Each structure stands twice: as C-alpha cells, then as structure tokens.
Amino acid sequence: MKRIVAGLATAAVLLTGCGPAPTSRATLTGTPTSRPAASSPSPASLQSLESAYEKVISNVLPSIVQINTKVGLGSGIVFDSAGHIVTNAHVVGTATKMEVTVATGGAPLQARLVKSFKAGDLAVIKVDHPGGLRPAKFGDSSKVRVGQIVLAMGNPLGLSGSVTDGIVSAIGRTVSEPQEEGSPGATIAGAIQTSAAINPGNSGGALVDLAGQVIGIPTLGATDPDLGGGAAPGIGFAIPSNTATDIAAQIVKQGRVTNSHRAALGIRGSTVIGADGLPSGVGVVRVEPGGAAEKAGIRPGDLITSINGKKTTTMAALAETIAALKPGDQAKVGVLHSDGSTETVAVTLGQLQSE
C-alpha cells in the first residue's frame, strides 16, 4: 500500500468547531419525560452479522494471493481460471517475475508479468500452472453506497490472509500517489474511500462487500502531516472494481491497454517552485508529438498555471484536474511562456495512453 497526503490538515481546519446544528427555540411546558434508552442490537442480529462476515471471508480469501518480488511484497486477486491475477502496478514495480502464494496457504507458485498500466496503478500477472486458483467474483462498483460495510483482504506487513472491516466513507475521490521508484505517481479517478484499515502489503488486495463481491482494490493510505507523515487512521482509498476489471480484461485479451477512458494533456512536466518557496505551476519538460498540448501550441519551457480556471500549482493538482475530464473535452489552459507572456489556450484533450 502506498501513502498519500490527502489534504488532511485542511480537512481538520474545516471540521474544527463543527458542533450540533442549531435548533429552533420553544417554550417547554409540562413534566419533562426521560429519553428512551437506545436499544442494543439483539444477539440474533449480531450472530447474523458475524455469520455474514465468516461466509464472505471463507468464500473470498481463497481468491487472494500474496505477491513477493525481490524488493517487497503485496497482494493480488485471482482474475480468471487461466491464472491471471490483477494487482497494483506499484506492487510489481520493475519485476517481470515473482512468486505467488494463496492467502489460505499452499506451495508458492511462479508468476510472470503480463503488463503494467502505470498511469492507473494496475497490473496483470500470470501463473502458468494455475491449478487450485479460484477466481474472485467482481461486483459493480457503480452501485457502491456510502455507509455500506466492507472488508479489506490482503497481506499487510506480510501477515497472509488478514482481514479488516469498515465502511465506504466516500465515493468518487480523485487522489494522486507520491512519485517513487517503481511508481510514476499515478492519479486514481473515482476512488472509493474506506475506513477499513489498509496497511503496507494490502496493496492489490480486495475491498469486498457483504455479498462476497470485490468492489475495489485497496491502493492508498492517507498520511497526516501533523503526525510527521504517519498513517492517518481510517482513511484509505481503493481503485473501483469496474476500472480494475476493464483494464485487466484489455491486458488479458490484447496484451496492453487500448482504451484507458482517461483524458490526457500530452505533456511530461514537473512542479516548479517559485521565488517565494511555494509551488507556482507545472513546468513543461516535454510535449507528446501530435498530442493535445502540442496541437494547442504549448511548448517545452512553458509553465501551466491553471486548467478551466482552477489553479494547478503542482503536478498532482494538474493530474487530478485532468482526471476529472474526458477524452475529447476542451479545456482552457493558463500558460506562462518562457518570454514572460501569459496566455489561455483552448486544448482538446486526448486519451491517456498505455506505456
């Protein structure tokens, strides 16, 4: 699992002082009555929920694997009976061969990389002798509801077959990963936020509903700057299952991603720090030949400062803004040219390509 600073300091400020909503004032008469005690869940209902957990875990855990490379470990989900396994690109990193162990035990299996889609932090690996691997059941992530109970299954800290529970805290988040070795700093659109504990090693595992369907792939955990970059409890993010299965199916059938469904500006850039020590925009290092930016007249050396009126002071901010748009959309891009002149150019966005 990767860590991401998700604007927690700002969120804390916004929440400070948020108390109960004001109520209308009224004159009370008569004898006050005691407030009825809150009813506790009945033993039968607790037993029913417990049974549901047990059933889901026993059904899904055999479809979860631990992936070991020379540099680390993560999790994966058995995608089909042919031995394809979907995971995060950052779990695979630069490895082309890895070892896979089913969460419920058994001898390690040798696997190889089929293809990584680094821009979406997804990858498919394959076990060539998949006897005994059980494909997971994937649900429709467009039907995920805030508040529904979910379980996160994977191998946190190498503890094979671990399960945590929580709820779906939010849907439709757009989050960016930090750029590190083996990870280009992918931006995930439409991420599912969950309170289920997600720790290093959970990446590539399964976020599962109580019907036993995989609805997401745990990928990111938030960090809190006030804790020195430590984990922010109860804030994790998962790639929606609809995104994961679409990308995985393309890789399985065609060996690569042919339709990312993601918009692209067509540049390579980096965050530029201004004279005040603060991020001031995205410096264009390279433009893709024939890409959206080149067609609109954006050149290396330009500084992109906004998209559709929204400031893009960092590469992450630019990526998150683009992720909310679609291929073919027209965007108004604010540009500071190397000669000091400024311009707003209309860019017809292209499609994010697989590497």
pTM of the model: 0.82
Which has the minimum average pLDDT: 232-236, 335-339, 347-351?
232-236
- The single residue of 63, 116, 121, 280 carrying the catalytic annotation is 121
DSSP state at residue 180 = B
Kindly state the average pLDDT of the residues 136-165: 95
140 flagged as catalytic: no
User: How many CA atoms, within 13 angstroms, populate the side-chain half-sphere of residue 111?
Assistant: 34
pLDDT at 299 over 60: yes
pLDDT at 229 over 70: no
Q: 136, 206 in Cβ contact below 8 A?
A: yes
- The single residue of 90, 209, 241, 302 carrying the catalytic annotation is 90
- The single residue of 203, 260, 280, 306 carrying the catalytic annotation is 203
Residues 6+ apart with CB under 8 A from 290: none
Which ranges of the chain would DSSP assign to H, the alpha helix?
8-15, 43-60, 89-92, 241-254, 292-296, 315-323
pLDDT at 10 over 70: no
β-pair partners for 162: 154
pLDDT at 15 over 70: no
Domains of the chain (ranges plus CATH)? 62-127 (2.40.10.120), 137-254 (2.40.10.10), 263-351 (2.30.42.10)
Mean pLDDT across the chain = 86
| Phi, psi torsion values for 175, nearest 5 degrees | -130, 150
121 flagged as catalytic: yes
